[in-house]
């Protein structure tokens, strides 16, 4: 004990160091709680991002097609594919080898080949033989063997030799998978994309925004600026606050029994989904809009009244423009909730297998979160990375929407 504390200092109190240690532990528990919550978030995003990596890129192989074979066999696509594979790969001697050869490229590659050749008639190779060179997507099995760098796992010896030959001759190329963002759903993981789901989500969000923003701000204006303080308006307020906490699946049940069964609107259409989501997000928008109206100072209203504006003129010409940024922020945040909502959409039949993008809001549509759900439930392994990639796209949209809301709030909102 070289540094004995002064008898009158705090440090000489009995048990004080123990209490300080308890203090440190308590604070550490708080830091730990915050840190582990955030760590979980980071873990979630990183884990899903890692799983998604493969879905954003695709591998293609250069296939040579003899012109005369194309002209001869173009009405029999599968035989055409077989002959092409025989021409491109050595050792296709029996049925088994042919099956393995065809399995090297994606299902339906014959249609791709014919499509490419029809669109690129002039693109013949300059080797004088008059053959076409076409890049064809590789099958999932070959891709996973290539991307994991160990060729042996899922391929037969013959297939391995072919892959090695292709790689050695630079016939394989890696590309960003544009199809993932533009294609519709498919039974083949290699071809499945989120294109039509994105269109469906856009339609649904449009319906949802028009309805919930319109009704939401009007309701907020009434409650905040005009409603007398009586038991009806109190009931209305309690009602709205409670609606905000009703489980989303209940809104789905409402949509099913009212919009589908009573009004007879089409199943799995964007309009029904949008209406259900609008009912769901409306309370949030009303609450946010009321806060925005409350933050406009009373003096603005008094000034408007004093120059003879009617109550409605006061609100619509003076208060509303000032409150609008806050309302918009609330709406964007509400939309960010709506875009990821899945459960109520399952109730109104939005989980059908839909390939084509919808043309209008009455067409059957598939939306992004439901597409994620469907792929996640699919037993085929190839869909796992597609699911993860679709989630990354969804999270990116959410990030953009939330950032927009934050920037909007910073830029436009006035501090009074």
Where in 281-340 is the site for another protein (CB under 8 A)? 282-283, 286, 310-312, 336-337, 339-340
Tell me if residue 174 falls in helix, strand or coil.
Answer: strand
Stretch that binds another protein, among 97-105, 181-189, 193-201, 243-251 (CB under 8 A): 243-251
| 138/61 Cα distance (integer angstroms) | 7
Single residue of 17, 19, 78, 96 touching another protein by CB under 8 A? 19
According to the binding rule CB under 8 A, does residue 36 interact with another protein?
Answer: yes
Q: Which is nearer to another protein, 361 or 374 (CB)?
A: 374
Return phi, psi of residue 405, to 5°. Answer: -60, -45
Query: What track of x and - describes contact with another protein for positions 389 through 408 (by CB under 8 A)?
Result: --x--xx--x---x------
Tell me if residue 58 falls in helix, strand or coil.
Answer: strand
Q: Which is nearer to another protein, 89 or 192 (CB)?
A: 192
Going by C-alpha positions, the residue among 225, 220, 228 that lies closest to residue 300 is: 225
Q: Which of residues 198-237 bind another protein (CB under 8 A)?
A: 214-216, 218-219, 221-223, 226-227, 235-236
Query: b or e along 153-174 (b: 16 or more beta carbons within 10 Å of the residue's beta carbon)?
Result: eebeebbbebbeebeeeebbee
DSSP 387: H
According to the binding rule CB under 8 A, does residue 87 interact with another protein?
Answer: no
| 38/32 Cα distance (integer angstroms) | 10
According to the binding rule CB under 8 A, does residue 196 interact with another protein?
Answer: no
* Residue 406: partners with Cβ closer than 8 Å, 6 or more residues away: none
Single residue of 253, 300, 309, 324 touching another protein by CB under 8 A? 253
Residue 48, strand partner residues: none
Q: Which is nearer to another protein, 7 or 15 (CB)?
A: 15
Tell me if residue 62 falls in helix, strand or coil.
Answer: strand
Stretch that binds another protein, among 90-98, 100-108, 177-185, 275-283 (CB under 8 A): 275-283
Stretch that binds another protein, among 31-39, 97-105, 135-143, 192-200 (CB under 8 A): 31-39
CB 88, CB 134: distance < 8 Å: no
According to the binding rule CB under 8 A, does residue 248 interact with another protein?
Answer: yes
- The least distance separating another protein from the CB of residue 394, rounded to whole angstroms, comes to 6
Q: Which of residues 44-83 bind another protein (CB under 8 A)?
A: 44, 47-48, 51
- The least distance separating another protein from the CB of residue 193, rounded to whole angstroms, comes to 18
Single residue of 161, 206, 258, 324 touching another protein by CB under 8 A? 258
Tell me the DSSP string of 98-149.
HHHHHTTB-TTHHHHHHHHHHHTTT-B-TTSS-EEEEEEEBPHHHHHHHHTS
Alpha-carbon torsion 408, 411, 412, 415, what sign? positive
Task: Give the chain's largest Cα–Cα span.
Answer: 106
Q: Which of residues 121-180 bind another protein (CB under 8 A)?
A: none
According to the binding rule CB under 8 A, does residue 109 interact with another protein?
Answer: no
């Amino acid at each position: 004990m070289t540094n004995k504390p002064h008898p009158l200092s705090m440090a000489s109190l009995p048990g004080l160091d123990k209490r300080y240690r308890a203090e440190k532990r308590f604070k550490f528990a708080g830091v730990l709680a915050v840190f582990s919550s955030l760590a979980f978030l980071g873990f979630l995003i990183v884990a899903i991002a890692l799983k998604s990596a493969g879905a954003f890129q695709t591998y293609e192989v250069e296939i040579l097609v003899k012109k005369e074979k194309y002209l001869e066999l173009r009405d029999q696509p599968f035989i055409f594919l077989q002959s092409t594979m025989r021409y491109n790969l050595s050792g296709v001697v029996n049925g088994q080898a042919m099956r393995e050869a065809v399995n090297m490229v994606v299902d339906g590659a014959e249609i791709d080949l014919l499509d490419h050749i029809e669109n690129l008639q002039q693109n013949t190779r300059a080797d004088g033989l008059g053959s076409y060179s076409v890049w064809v997507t590789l099958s999932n099995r070959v891709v996973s063997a290539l991307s994991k760098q160990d060729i042996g796992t899922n391929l037969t010896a013959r297939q391995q030799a072919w892959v090695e030959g292709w790689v050695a001759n630079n016939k394989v190329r890696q590309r960003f998978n544009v199809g993932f963002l533009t294609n519709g759903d498919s039974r083949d993981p290699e071809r499945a994309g989120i294109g039509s789901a994105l269109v469906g989500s856009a339609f649904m969000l449009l319906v949802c925004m028009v309805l919930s923003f319109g009704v939401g701000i009007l309701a907020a204006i009434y409650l905040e600026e005009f409603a007398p303080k009586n038991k009806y308006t109190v009931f209305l307020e309690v009602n709205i606050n409670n609606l905000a906490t009703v489980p989303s699946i209940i809104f789905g049940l409402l949509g099913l029994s009212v919009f589908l069964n009573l009004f007879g609107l089409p199943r799995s259409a964007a309009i029904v989904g949008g209406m259900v989501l609008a009912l769901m997000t409306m309370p949030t928008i009303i609450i946010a809009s009321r806060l925005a109206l409350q933050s406009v100072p009373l003096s603005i209203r008094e000034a408007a009244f004093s120059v003879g504006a009617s109550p409605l003129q006061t609100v619509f010409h003076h208060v509303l423009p000032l409150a609008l940024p806050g309302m918009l922020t609330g709406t964007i945040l509400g939309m960010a909730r709506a875009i990821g909502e899945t459960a109520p959409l399952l109730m109104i039949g939005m989980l059908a297998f839909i390939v084509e993008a919808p043309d209008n809001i009455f067409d059957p549509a598939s939306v992004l979160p439901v597409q994620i759900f469907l792929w996640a439930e699919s037993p085929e392994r190839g869909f796992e990375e597609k699911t993860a990639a679709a989630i990354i796209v969804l999270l990116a949209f959410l990030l953009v929407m939330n950032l927009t809301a934050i920037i909007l709030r910073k830029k436009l909102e006035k501090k009074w």
